[in-house]
Structure 1
Amino acid sequence: MVPVTILPSILPHDLVAEILSFLDVKSLTKLKCVSKSWNSLISDPIFVQMHLKKSSQNPHITLCSSNDGFFTLHPFPIRSLLENRFMDHPDHYQFVDRGCNGFVGSCNGLICMLSDRIDGKYQSSCLRFWNPATRSVSKRLGYSYVELRVRHLYLKFSFGYDNTTGKYKVVAYSPGIAKVFSLGDHVWKSIESFPSTPFRCTRSARTGLDQNGGVYFSNSLNWFTLCNNIVYLYSDWKDLNDTIEQFGIISLDLGTEECTQLLVPLDFDEIPPIMPIVCVLADCLCFCHYSKENDFVIWQMKKFRVEESWTMFLKFSYQNICIGSSYFEDRHLFPLYLSENCNTLILVSDRGHVVCYNKKDNRVERSDLTRGIYRLVAKDYIESLVSAC
């Protein structure tokens, strides 16, 4: 890391870097203008990683709204949300690109944006990377023109970080197709097709939430799958006639770019009325589903990729968290965050409502974060200095 010569010699360089790493991105951006040495320190990759580690301890829920190529990101610190359910929208970031039509994902403060178009049996696409906190935006990258193996079953995209190479990667997949784009290399590389294709459902019309868009965890991307499920890739879940044995989770290691197929919990023994969800809570991969008795059940994989470590973590009545005017209005719920004491679970519904469930008191509170925002995507997010270019 570059020494900061402007500072008094009584302060060790490492101590200065440690102190600065606690500051927010906005403050650090201003400090870069103080001198060349300060700019060098704050831009140093080692400092960027140090700051990222600190920022990870202050996660946000981010509501990303879009309207005709205008994208707005509203970050809300989790800690503030747990204390106050009715926060204003003081901070927001904007990104404009009429060619972009969707969010792929968020990782380490970077947002991956997608522009794609379907022309018969061909799909053209490209990517842009955006760091809202630093306002850095990449040019259009990863141009791709693919002939689809199965008509109307388009490429889907997921986003994550490979900590073995320090590269951000986008995975594109469709029946018979799997490829990886690495930010920095700027090329697509074909990989072995998935042993089973992630189940594909249409996005929520209200939120844009993808029920199975790939979950980043422990240097991997993870999807809920049905073995030999090509017939069902765009089927309605309620029409599914498979057996429990067909269910699984695919985990793609971003370092080796190889897949592992995982079993769902053994005690999961009935096809639920709504498609299960794979998510991450309390640093564990989780499998969530509804029961026919209208319970919402969350399983935690205590040891990643060890199927015997599935443990039921939480089970509560869905009726306790009905917040709409009708029973089915907020039927689809997506867990986003679990508090450090494991008492408060934050979820978002497919109608854009943010819900806080208190496990200890079996109490539900609805947050009013989404007022005035139409067509939103809820993402976990942290501010960072990571470059989008």
Structure 2
Amino acid sequence: MNLQTEIVADILSRIPIKSIFHCKCVCKTWHDLLSEPYFVNLHLPRSPAGLIIHRSNYPQETDILKLVELDGESDHHNIHHNPLTRFDLGLGFNYDALLLCETVNGLICLWNYYGVAGYICNPITREYILIPDQKYDSPYAIVTCGFGYVEASDEYKVVRLYMHMKTGKSECKIYTLGTGVWRSLGHLPFPLISFQNGIYLNGNLHWLTTDPEGTPNEMVCTFDLEKELFLLTPAAPFVVGRDVKDRIRYLGTLGECLCICDSTADFELSIWVMKDYEMKEMWSKEIVIREPSLQYQNVRPLIFLESGCILMVCLDRFLFTYCPEYGTVQIIEDAPKKAFDARVYVPSFIRLGSFVLENVFVF
């Protein structure tokens, strides 16, 4: 690659994603340049975080992904839908809608709860990979999925956890993109208590669980994707004087920290933040939101906006912002009676064809 081409690549890597789409149509030279690994690696760390919204119109079997840009404002103008990045995947199954598992470096993991198959897709390159798996007796089982990246080895891994609620049979399986095969790590060293998919942060996947010794204490299971080892640490404490069952707790991230959203019967949503894995008093209650529409809801923080507000998603219901300064909640987008989820998404031009032994399809 000559100096002039490097300069062009450097300039193009700094412009908005929708402008890059147009640049690919300028000439064959630019089209080829924007597909080269050099440009892909140059663009990714400069790509601004946006949002990916997943809607599933089950039973019509239509799965929609929408890429959303954020401008950091606190009013309804802070979300900009780009018609060039709205995709009808058409990947649904007869059994159930697909679930949005996780996004990492522009790659999105979608999973069918019944264990039939999963997908890794990149909506920017319009490519996807089918990851087949065996079907499980899901009405009597808990099945969750996780997706993450190992920087040291430049590997992307899908992790699936399974536990039969009657027999207690459990299993952890791992699929590394490019290998074409699942590997089993054997039985889980802890009980699964939630259908929530794993939360990816800092090279690890996280799930909520209970103490395997039989105590009622809630724990956070951390799975090291590089070492492929499990670690249990205490979860955020329950509020004294309230019934443990009288709440919904959901794992997520806030900034660069793991968090637990605790939704109770008295319209109070508490967000506990884990500051450090190694600290004894690792959890602190950072935010308390009093809002009737959030009672008994699965809520996940998404991203801090430049205005100081926090963008969040109430699963299957709506996107909303919370302003800590004024204690106000504003609904941004709702989706009644539809499967609805959102994640922070950093667009990239990673080509799925770079993973050997994978069949790549185009949508």
Report the TM-score range of the alignment, normalised by the length of the smaller protein: 0.7 to 0.9
Paired residues, number:
339
Tell me how far apart the structure 1 counterparts of residues 334 and 288 of structure 2 sit (CA, whole Å).
Answer: 26
1: CA distance between counterparts of 2:88 and 2:278? 38
Partner of 1:183: 177
Task: Say which structure is richer in strand.
Answer: 2
Which of 54, 66, 70 is the aligned partner of 1:74? 66
Distance 1:373 1:131, change over 3 A: farther
With the length of structure 1 as denominator, give the TM-score of the two structures. Answer: 0.75
**Deviation at residue 45 of structure 1 after TM alignment:** 3.0
Matched, 1:111 2:108: yes
Q: How much does 1:348 deviate?
A: 2.3
Indicate the SS of the match to 1:43: coil
* Structure 2 gap ranges (5+): 164-169, 354-363
Q: Who is 1:259 aligned against?
A: 230
Counterpart in the other structure of 1:20: 12
Q: Identical aligned pairs, as a percentage?
A: 22
| 2:145 is aligned with 1:162 | no
| Within-5 A mapping of 1:236-385 | 245-265=216-236, 269=240, 271=244, 273-290=246-263, 294-304=267-277, 306-317=279-290, 321-323=291-293, 331-339=296-304, 343-367=308-332, 369-370=333-334, 374-385=338-349
- 1:387 matched to which residue of 2? 351
Q: SS in structure 2 opposite 1:53?
A: helix
> CA separation of 1:61/1:136 partners in 2, compared to 1, >3 Å: closer, same or farther?
closer
Which whole-Å CA distance do the structure 2 matches of 1:35 and 1:198 have between them?
53
Deviations 1:288-333, CA, capped at 9 Å, x for gaps: 213565432212222245453322211232xxx224xxxxx75304
What is the distance in 1 between the residues matched to 2:323 and 2:133?
Answer: 45
Q: Distance in 2 between matches of 1:360 and 1:262?
A: 32
- Report the secondary structure of 1:155's partner residue: strand
Find the counterpart in structure 2 of residue 65 from structure 1.
Answer: 56
- Taking a change above 3 Å as real, the CA distance of residues 3 and 89 of structure 1, as seen in their structure-2 partners, is same
In 1, distance between residues paired with 2:139 and 2:64?
Answer: 33
Give TM-score, length-normalised by structure 2: 0.80
Question: Match of 1:225, as an amino acid?
Answer: T
Counterpart of 1:97, as a letter, is L
Query: Once structures 1 and 2 are overlaid, which stretch shifts more, 177-186 or 188-197?
Result: 188-197
Task: Give the Å deviation of 1:280.
Answer: 0.6
- Offset at residue 283 of structure 1 (A): 1.0
Which consecutive unaligned segments of at least 5 residues does structure 1 have? 8-12, 118-123, 202-211, 230-241, 324-328
The 1:353–1:255 alpha-carbon spacing in structure 2 relative to 1, beyond 3 Å, is same
Asked if 1:221 is matched to 2:239, the reply is: no
Task: Output the CA distance in 2 between the equivalents of 1:42 and 1:264.
Answer: 44
How far is the alpha carbon of 1:363 from its aligned partner?
1.4
Query: Which of 138, 145, 163 does residue 134 from structure 2 map onto?
Result: 145
Distance in 1 of aligned mates of 2:315 and 2:128: 29
Distance 1:35 1:350 in 2: 43
Offset at 1:16? 3.5
Greater mean alpha carbon deviation, residues 350-359 or residues 265-274: 265-274
Distance in 2, Cα, partners of 1:107 & 1:156: 17
| Preserved CA contact (<8 Å) 2:267 2:295 | no
Return closer, same or farther for 1:221/1:127 CA change in 2, 3 Å cut-off. same
CA deviations over 1:353-389 (Å, ceiling 9, x no partner): 222111101112122x235883322233232212234
Shift in CA distance, 183/158, structure 1 to aligned 2, threshold 3 Å: same
Contact 2:275 2:282 (8 Å CA) reproduced: yes
Structure 2 equivalent of residue 326 of structure 1: none
Question: Which residue in 2 is equivalent to 1:130?
Answer: 121
RMSD: 3.2
